[in-house]
Amino acid sequence: MAVLILFFGFYIIYPVVLIFIQSFNIAGIIEGTYEFSLNNWRAAFSEPDVFESLRNTIVVFAAYTTISFPVAVLISWLLARTPIRFSRGLEFMFWVSFMLPALTTTIGWSLLLDPYFGFFNVWLKELPFITGPVFNIYSVEGIVFAHLMGNAMSQKVMLLTPAFRNMNATLEEAGRVSGAGKIRTMMRVTLPVMVPAMVVVFLLNLVRMFNTFEIEQILGTPIRFFVYSTQIYDYVREMEPPEYGQATALASITLVIILMIIPLQRWLLSRRQYTTVTGDYKPGLVHLGAYQPVAFVFVVTIVALLTVVPVLTLLGGSFMTRAGFFQAIPPYTLVHWQTVLADPIFFRALKTTLILSITTALLSPLLFSMIAYILVRRSWPGKLILDSIFWGSAGIPGILSGLGLLWVITATPGLNWLYGTIWILIIVVILQGKLTSIQMFKSVFLQMGEDMEEAARIAGAGWLRTYFKIWLPLIAPTLVLMGILNFVIAAGSTGSVILLASRETVTLSLLALEYVTTSTGSAREVAGIISLFIVAMTAGLALIARWVGFHAGVKNR
C-alpha cells in the first residue's frame, strides 16, 4: 500500500498540488519564481463570463445525462438480460461508437444539421412547404444532441452491460416466484442490485462534467455559448501570454466537487449488500415475448444514429472539394486523401499512436484490476488515501493535468530526460484511464462472493494462483472491455499529452488537432480523414478483443 500511494501520489497528486499552488503564484510560473497572492483568483472570477459558463456547463450536463442514463440502462438490460437478436454485435457497435472521437462525430452531424449547408436541411428545402432550415445544430439543443450522439450514451452502455450480464438469474426467478411480473422484477430486483455499477458510471460522468471541450468549442463558439472547459482553454491557449494562474484558479474549483463526490460514492456503495456472483451463480435471460422485436428495432435505430450515420457522412465529405458544398466545381476530389498520405509526419504519428495504445491496453487492465482487488478485498491501512488519490485527480482538465506533470518532470532532478519521449506519454495515458478502470473493476468485485476465493485457498492455491485461476476468468469480459477502453483513450488523447509530446512523438489525435486549427480551407476534411484512421485502427483491435472477450468469462444459455 505504501508503494502504491507513493507512486501514484507522485504522478497524480503532486502535479495537482502544483497546479493548486501555482494558482496563487503571480510571478513567473514558467521561469520558476514565486510570489503568492489572490490576484489570479480575483482576476479569474471578476470575468462575468465565468459564472455564465459554469451555469452553461451544468445545464448541458444535466440535459444529456437525464436523457442518456435511463436509455443506456434500458439498452444494457436488453443486451445482457434478454435474448435480443445479434446482442453481441449490437454491443460491439456501442464500442465502435465510443471509439469515434468527439471531433469526428461532431463534424459528421454538423454536416447533416448545419442550418445553411447541412445535408438534411438542403434536402428538406426541396419540399414545397419548407421555407427555412428545420434543424440547427449550432444551438444549446444541438450541443446536447451532439453529446448524446457522441459517447454520452455509448460509454454508459459499454460499462453497464458486463455488470448486467453478471446478474444472478436466481434473484430474478425468486422475484417472479413471489408473484412479481417482469417489469416489477426489473424495478425491484434487477436495478437495485445493479446500484454499484450504475453509481460508478454516474459518478464517472459527473467528475468529468468540466472536461468536455470539442463539442462546445465547435458548436458553441458561433453562438457565443461557452462552458467551463472552453473558458480554461482560452486562458491557456488563446491568450498571449497564457494566463496560467487564472486557468489553474478556475481548475482548482473542480477539486471541491470531487471532495464531495468521494464520501458520496462510499456512502452509496456501503449501504447494502450487492453480491450477485457466488458459488451458486446461475446465468439466465428474460424473454419479452411480443415486445422482443420492438426492443430489437429500438436498439438498432440507436446504433445507426451513433455510428453509421456520422461515419458515412464524414467519409462522403472527405471526398468532396468542400464538405457540404454541392455547388463546388468539381464537387468531388481525392486531394484531401493525397494530402494525408503524402505527409511523412502522418506515418510517424501512426507509429507513435500504435505503440502508445497497445502498451496502454495491455498494462492498464492488469494493473488496475489488482488495485481494485486490493481496495475491495483487503483491509490494509491506507485504502481511503489510495482511493481518494484516484478520485481527487479526476476533475482536473487534461491540459492542466499535463501542465502539472510537465512542471514535475522539469523540476525533479533525473526526470528531465522524460520530456518529449514515448515513456512519459505512456505514463500519462495509462493514468488517464485509471479512475474508470478501477471503479469498474471494483463494481465487479463487489458483485462476487468470497466463497470462491476461500475454496481456492482451502485447496492450497496461493494469492497469485487464485487471482489468475478464479478472478481473471470471471472478470475476463470487463478485463477486455477496459483494455479496449484504454486503447481508445490512448489513441484519442490530446489535452493530457499536448504539452509533453515533441515533434518526434506526435500522435494522430494531435496531428488532427493541428490540422483542424489551421486556417486552410481543407483543414476540416483532412482532420476528418485522420480521425477515420483512428477509428479504423481501434475498430480492428476491438474485433479481435471482442472475440477473445466473448469466449471468456461466464455465459448465458
Residue type, 278: T
CATH entry 1.10.3720.10 includes domain 2-550: yes
DSSP 58-71: HHHHHHHHHHHHHH
pLDDT of residue 57: 87
pLDDT digits (tens, 9 = 90+) for 254-288: 666 666 665 665 565 555 544 444 444 445 577 77
pLDDT digits (tens, 9 = 90+) for 20-62: 777 787 776 555 667 788 887 787 777 777 778 888 888 999 9
pLDDT at 300 over 90: yes
Set of cell numbers at residue 285:
435471460
- CA pair distance 84, 96, nearest whole angstrom: 19
* Count of Cβ atoms closer than 10 Å to residue 361 Cβ: 25
pLDDT of residue 409: 79
With bands split at pLDDT 50, 70 and 90, how would you rate the model's confidence at 304?
Answer: very high
pLDDT digits (tens, 9 = 90+) for 507-520: 888 887 777 666 56
pLDDT at 326 over 80: no
Residue, of 239 and 74, whose pLDDT is higher: 74
pTM for this predicted structure: 0.72
- Residue bearing cell 523540476: 411
Residue 224 per-residue DSSP state: T
Q: What average pLDDT does range 469-474 have in this prediction?
A: 76
Question: Considering just the CA atoms, what is the radius of gyration of the chain in Å?
Answer: 24
- CA pair distance 140, 144, nearest whole angstrom: 6
- CA pair distance 237, 445, nearest whole angstrom: 42
pLDDT at 251 over 80: no
Q: Would you list the domain boundaries of the chain?
A: 2-550
* Angle in degrees, 0-180, between the axes of helices 102-113 and 140-147, rounded to the nearest 10: 130
Q: What average pLDDT does range 6-16 have in this prediction?
A: 81
Give the residue ranges of DSSP H helices in 125-243: 140-147, 154-165, 169-177, 182-185, 191-193, 195-207, 214-220, 228-233
Asked if 146 and 137 touch (Cβ cutoff 8 Å), the reply is yes
With bands split at pLDDT 50, 70 and 90, how would you rate the model's confidence at 75?
Answer: very high
- CA pair distance 137, 146, nearest whole angstrom: 8
pLDDT of residue 394: 63
Q: What average pLDDT does range 373-395 have in this prediction?
A: 79
| Secondary structure of residue 332 in the 3-state scheme | strand
Percentage above 90 pLDDT, the chain: 6
pLDDT digits (tens, 9 = 90+) for 131-187: 778 888 889 999 999 999 888 888 888 888 877 776 666 666 666 677 776 667 767
Q: How far is CA 243 from the centre of its chain?
A: 28
Lowest mean pLDDT among 51-60, 236-245, 310-319, 440-449: 236-245
- CA pair distance 285, 366, nearest whole angstrom: 30
- CA pair distance 224, 300, nearest whole angstrom: 35
Give the closest residue to 507 by CA, choosing from 517, 496, 518.
496
